[in-house]
Amino acid sequence: MSSRPVGTATRGTTNPNRLRRMDRWIAAVHGRALRAAARPLAVDLGYGAAPWTAVELLRRLRAGADPRCEVVGIEIDPARVAAAGPYEEDGLTFRHGGFEVPVDPAPMLVRAANVLRQYDEDEVAAVWARLCGRLAPDGLLVEGTCDEIGRRHVWVALGPRGPRTVTFAARLGSLDRPSDLAERLPKALIHRNVPGEPVHAFLRDFDRAWASAAPYASLGARQRWIAAVRELARDWPVVDDRRRWRQGEVTVEWAALAPNGSD
C-alpha cells in the first residue's frame, strides 16, 4: 500500500442519522455475510468533519447484523481523525487514510457515502475498482449519495467483481414523485439522467407507475409506493420484496441501469 492517502478531502458536511436508511439496508441484506465472517470488519470511508456516521454504523450493525461487528472510520484529513479520537470505544477506531483503505484484515464492508460527488464521472470506475479490490471475498462496497438529513438516498452496492444493484430510498412523505430522487443519484449515474439512458427511462417509468397508483394515496404514501413498485417490477428487474418496499426502498439490478457504453 502507498504510505500517502489516495483521494481528496470532502467538504465534511455531516449530520446525526443522515445515513440511517443505508445502514438499515446494509444490516438487512448483508447481515448474513457479516455473521458468517471470522471477523466482521466494516469501514466508514470519508466520514467527514464529525464522527457521527461511524458511531451510528457500529450501533446499527451490532444491533441489526452481528454484535461482533467492528468499525474503522477513515478520513484523509488528519485533523478530522484527531477530532474523532475521543469517540473511540470498543469496536470503533479512527484512522488516517483514503481509497487505499489501510485496514487489516480485508473489510467485509466499505461504506462510502457522499464521497464521490466531488469527483468527475470518468474517475468513478477506477475508484470503485480500487475499493472493491480491498474487500474480503464476501465483502460489500456501498457507495451513494443522500440529502443533508437523510430523507432521500440512492446507492450502488458492489462486490469484489463490481457493481450489483442500485437502491432508491426515501422518506415517502417528502416525495412528490419518485423522480425527485434523481438529484441524489450517485456520480456514476447523475449525469446520465437524460433521454436515451437507462436510468432516465427507469425514473420515467417509476413516475408513471406512481401516477397509476394514485388511488392508493388515500391509504398513505407507503401503500402507494408499494403499489407503484409492484407495477414497476413488471418491466424492470426489481430484486427485493414488499418487506423492503415498506421501508420506502426499491432495489434494481445494476445492469438494467448501467450507463450506455459502460462495461
**Domain ranges, residue 48:** 20-170
pTM exceeding the 0.85 threshold for the entire prediction: yes
Exposed / middle / buried, residue 3 (Cβ in 10 Å: 0-12, 13-18, 19+): exposed
Q: Does residue 28 fall inside a structural domain?
A: yes
Collapsed DSSP state (helix, strand, coil) of residue 238: strand
Q: Pick the last residue of a domain from 128, 150, 170.
A: 170
Q: Do 211 and 104 fall within a single domain?
A: no
Looking at the fold, whether 52 and 160 belong to one and the same domain comes out as yes
> Which of 170, 187, 212 is the last residue in one of the domains?
170
How many domains does the structure of the chain reveal? 2
Residues 158 and 44 placed together within one structural domain of the fold = yes
pLDDT digits (tens, 9 = 90+) for 34-63: 999 999 999 999 999 999 999 999 999 999
State the pLDDT confidence band at 9, using cuts at 50, 70 and 90: confident
- Predicted confidence at residue 263, as pLDDT, reads 62
148 shares a domain with 115: yes
Specify which residues 112 forms β-bridges with. Answer: 143
What local confidence, expressed as pLDDT, does residue 159 receive?
A: 98
> Do residues 136 and 47 share a domain?
yes
From the centroid of its chain, how far is CA 106? 19
Within a domain: residue 248? no
| 180, 104: one domain | no
pLDDT of residue 1: 42
Average pLDDT value for residue range 230-237: 98
| Residue 259 domain-assigned (yes or no) | no
Pair (153, 201) in one structural domain? no
